[in-house]
Amino acid sequence: MRRFLLILLITFPLFSMAQRRDDAIIRSDTLNKKSNLKLIGVPVVFSTPETGFGFGGGGQLFLMGEENIFRSRKSNIFFSGFYTANSQLVIQALPQIYFGAGDYYLDGSYEYRVYPNKFWGIGNDTPESNEEDYDMTSHKFRVDFLKRLPPSLNFGLRFHFENHEVTEVEEGGLLASGEVLGSDRAVIVGLGAIFTLDTRDQVEDPKGGYYVNFNAQFSSENFGSTHGFNRFITDLRAYRPLGEKSLLAARLYVENNFGDVPFQAKAQFGGGDMARGYFKGRFIDDQMYVLTAEYRWRFLPRWSLAAFGLMGEVSDINQDFFKGPHFSAGGGIRFKILKDQNTLVRLDAGFGEDGNSGFYFGVNQAF
């Protein structure tokens, strides 16, 4: 609770200043008034179950001069970096670049992590007593190149690369035994195919529409991977307005992995982007589903509240689903940084079962 109050004490004055004056925490068009670039900067102060207290900064760089008929979306690069009380360092860049009138676009990510973390074993019912610490350094790179079929269909190819080096494990623990795939190192290299149907009016804070994503990823030792496996992801989202100021959003995420899957690549239940209220990776296995519903209410032009509930679980085979689902509920507040841009910051609290809980400070909606 003290961490939650600290976040409020630090961020609320920033939000209040920004509401009175847009450039209080933003600098845009810094080169000249005719610049085609707009930068939205966000100071980041947060606390999550995975990181403890953390601080850093982030931003979103928009390319304003281009013409793009794809629902007026702008090419942009989101970037962030932070350091935490748990000695974790994360640097991330997420470009989304549209070409021409938006008929082709590149969607990518790069992430560098020095990340002490926790491991409870594999399965949906791992006990708290299994908890052990480990350190890992990771490089993750992904690039998707997609073709748009007007008005809302997209399909394309993916290349992905991950290099995970486990640098320290707990003596006598599960990872030290060497019986867990990837317990010392995992290199994942492969190709994938993607299909999406996207009718959302915007990405950062949708006000309506649907998002349907199917992708298949193949990691092979022929490409240099240490493990060969296949991954299939289904991500379904719907946004239904309930009036001028409220919205019901829902998401079903299903992940299926088959083959020799290292623990770094298994489906991870938890975290601020997937299952708020649980430590990210509290439960891991080859298969996972998460079903989330969220009510969003805008009580001021740039302020809104949200309440959510979710259920989900992991297993080694799909047939074991619904035997022991985990539940979570919570809510939070959102603030739109600039009147003429959709980027927002959010603060959520999630409460799961058996004492699991967490506070999450993030940029844009969870989904």
pLDDT score of 36: 79
224-233: b (≥16 Cβ within 10 Å) or e: ebbbbbbbbb
Q: What CATH number did the domain enclosing 126 receive?
A: 2.40.160.50
pLDDT score of 241: 96
Q: What do you get for the CA distance between the two ends of the chain, in Å?
A: 25
pLDDT score of 21: 38
pLDDT score of 282: 96
pLDDT score of 257: 97
The model's pLDDT over 205-246, given as tens digits with 9 standing for 90+, comes to 999 999 999 999 999 999 999 999 999 999 999 999 999 999
The model's pLDDT over 305-322, given as tens digits with 9 standing for 90+, comes to 999 999 999 999 988 899
Q: How far apart are CA 261 and CA 230, in angstroms?
A: 8
Which phi and psi angles does 221 have, rounded to 5°? -65, -20
Cis peptide before 150 (omega within 30 of 0): no
- Residues of the chain under the 70 pLDDT cut: 1-35, 64-72
Both structure tokens of 225 = 């991977």
Both structure tokens of 34 = 């005719």
pLDDT score of 30: 42
pLDDT score of 68: 58
The model's pLDDT over 51-62, given as tens digits with 9 standing for 90+, comes to 888 889 988 888
Range of the domain at 229: 2-363
Please answer whether residues 209 and 261 qualify as being in contact, where contact means their C-beta atoms are separated by less than 8 angstroms. Answer: no
pLDDT score of 186: 97
Size (the chain), residues: 367
Longest CA–CA separation in the chain, Å: 62
pLDDT score of 318: 86
Counted domains in the chain: 1
Stated pTM of the model: 0.85
